[in-house]
Structure 1
């Protein structure tokens, strides 16, 4: 992790205004039925470059033709995933970013960042577009992905970590900036080779299938009749293909479906405690898509190390 910044609660409008001022015009899609988000946008200069810290629990952020018409897009964004995960899409290249991964985005073209309502935080290094084109010409393009294990991403992270340590050292900042551009140039030449281009495209379909699968489960997980076979059938893919797609984020479609149901159960159980007696645990289990209360209790204990009736900090066991 390069740096830790605190998050706070702010309105969607406040976040969108800050994002527009620091990064340009974007279209915000918040979580359903909410006016507030957990997030923060912080702006600073490091190594003679603008850096934005962006944290949020939105569904997605998009830059469409409408937003492109509002500003010209003066930067490339080198985005480093710090917390959570994000699906980033540009030029038909969709990649899942896990902590430590990086992606280069061109603000002059449409792009989409999906977070599925979960908390995600990135560091965005703003690389002036004109300077990028002068240095690298047509090699500079958006959608280039660097996994955290890549030697270039490791080196960039090390330089940025140094830059955070010497924020006020102006002479050293100049050399750090040149080092960053040097590494980006090396990465661009490598990624524009024929073999690298094939490697980048190989994961596009899997990432796009993952996005569709997550979206379908998010929409239907409360249905107790929903099965992974049904999800695969709806998406017109084999279960094996669906499993490979979810492996990108180190899970399975079955575990993702279970997680969504347990998340909803936690929300309802917390509301139950706040509101007094509320619904019985069995009712909550059925409302969250579980067909069997004993299985719900078993899965809940496994995930949270306590019974549903004691979550969060409850004292009375339900008499089911």
Structure 2
């Protein structure tokens, strides 16, 4: 993914960078990764089409906008956050998104939000869209934050317009209008898709996703919550009627898959227990052996020999 901008990371006092962020974006609290009083970052501003825009580079632990900050500094904008380099985890209400280069998230300035960087260098472009304009056009569809999926073809068009506005100083107001029209089309298609999926509960989608990705060792409760666009806490609440957690459900489905593979070894006689464990989503053999024996009362090797 080609970067839109190339801001520089330079050593700067934490208090100075925090003050710059507050001057440009409003009341946010900056938490550095190291206790040295210095952070690598930079904040610049420019007019992008009709929008005031901040280009933010930093390697912080996190940046947060609390309820107290909102009371001191009422929100006037939606911030369209474009991850340009590095990564960032955005949390706003029940919306959680892991942003990689190219990903976009519409942040609502009147709701608390947290941006987690984990000390890694991150470059972001933040378009400040007047809140009154967005609410007037689209109602409350964006309230509380919105992740813009790159799987949607409209994402490509939105990014192309942003890139054109960044390249052309003093870009015409028509480009800003085109961007808002694309955003409106995206929100409309999202609402239609939401109505179509209204009969499918979050729990049923979670269970189907666990079955689909159980063999992936990198897939866990956090990834599941991110893909469903909810917080881990909300996801756990939906699993309570089952009497288990998302992690326990995922573990059981992996064990069941491994058991099925071991008892079907006549079709795959050369497949060893270790290979089965890794292929079924485990990356810790001792953990696999312990949990397998706890569930089936026998070791994986004993089950394989019996079949």
TM-score range, shorter chain: 0.5 to 0.7
Contact 2:7–2:123 under 8 Å retained in 1: no
Contact 2:103–2:150 under 8 Å retained in 1: yes
Q: Which runs of 5+ in 1 are unaligned?
A: 211-234, 245-251, 256-320
2:145 corresponds in structure 1 to 143
> Is 1:68 matched up with 2:70?
yes
Counterpart Cα distance in 1 of 2:282 and 2:118: 15
Counterpart Cα distance in 1 of 2:188 and 2:155: 14
1:18 corresponds in structure 2 to 20
Q: 199-208 or 107-116, which moves further after superposition?
A: 199-208
The alpha carbon displacement at 1:196 in A equals: 6.8
Tell me the TM-score normalised to structure 1 length: 0.62
Secondary structure of 2:166's aligned partner: helix
> Is 1:180 matched up with 2:179?
yes
2:247 corresponds in structure 1 to 237
Contact 1:144–1:191 under 8 Å retained in 2: no
The alpha carbon displacement at 1:148 in A equals: 3.1
Contact 1:145–1:200 under 8 Å retained in 2: no
The superposition leaves residues 204-230 of structure 1 with CA deviations (integer Å, 9 ceiling, x where unpaired) of 9635978xxxxxxxxxxxxxxxxxxxx
Contact 1:74–1:129 under 8 Å retained in 2: yes
Q: 1:11–1:2: structure 2 CA closer, same or farther, 3 Å change rule?
A: same
Contact 2:27–2:65 under 8 Å retained in 1: yes
> Is 1:194 matched up with 2:195?
yes
2:37 corresponds in structure 1 to 35
How many residues align structurally? 219
Secondary structure of 1:176's aligned partner: helix
Contact 2:221–2:246 under 8 Å retained in 1: no
Counterpart Cα distance in 2 of 1:159 and 1:24: 25
The alpha carbon displacement at 1:120 in A equals: 1.1
Tell me the TM-score normalised to structure 2 length: 0.64
2:222 corresponds in structure 1 to 206
Secondary structure of 1:160's aligned partner: helix
The superposition leaves residues 287-306 of structure 1 with CA deviations (integer Å, 9 ceiling, x where unpaired) of xxxxxxxxxxxxxxxxxxxx
Q: Which entry has the higher C-alpha Rg, 1 or 2?
A: 2
The alpha carbon displacement at 1:140 in A equals: 2.5
Contact 1:94–1:208 under 8 Å retained in 2: no
Structure 2 counterparts to residues 240-259 of structure 1, below 5 A: none
Secondary structure of 1:121's aligned partner: strand
> Is 1:119 matched up with 2:117?
no
Counterpart Cα distance in 2 of 1:22 and 1:253: 46
Counterpart Cα distance in 2 of 1:200 and 1:79: 26
The superposition leaves residues 81-137 of structure 1 with CA deviations (integer Å, 9 ceiling, x where unpaired) of 011111001121111001001011100111111011111111111110011111111
Secondary structure of 1:41's aligned partner: strand
> Is 1:108 matched up with 2:110?
yes
RMSD (CA atoms): 3.0
Secondary structure of 1:55's aligned partner: strand
Q: 1:236–1:199: structure 2 CA closer, same or farther, 3 Å change rule?
A: closer
The alpha carbon displacement at 1:141 in A equals: 2.0
Counterpart Cα distance in 1 of 2:108 and 2:221: 21
Match of 1:53 among 49, 52, 55: 55
Counterpart Cα distance in 1 of 2:110 and 2:36: 30
Q: 1:144–1:152: structure 2 CA closer, same or farther, 3 Å change rule?
A: same
The alpha carbon displacement at 1:191 in A equals: 2.3
Q: Which runs of 5+ in 2 are unaligned?
A: 207-219, 227-244, 255-280, 285-307
Contact 1:37–1:57 under 8 Å retained in 2: yes
Secondary structure of 1:130's aligned partner: helix
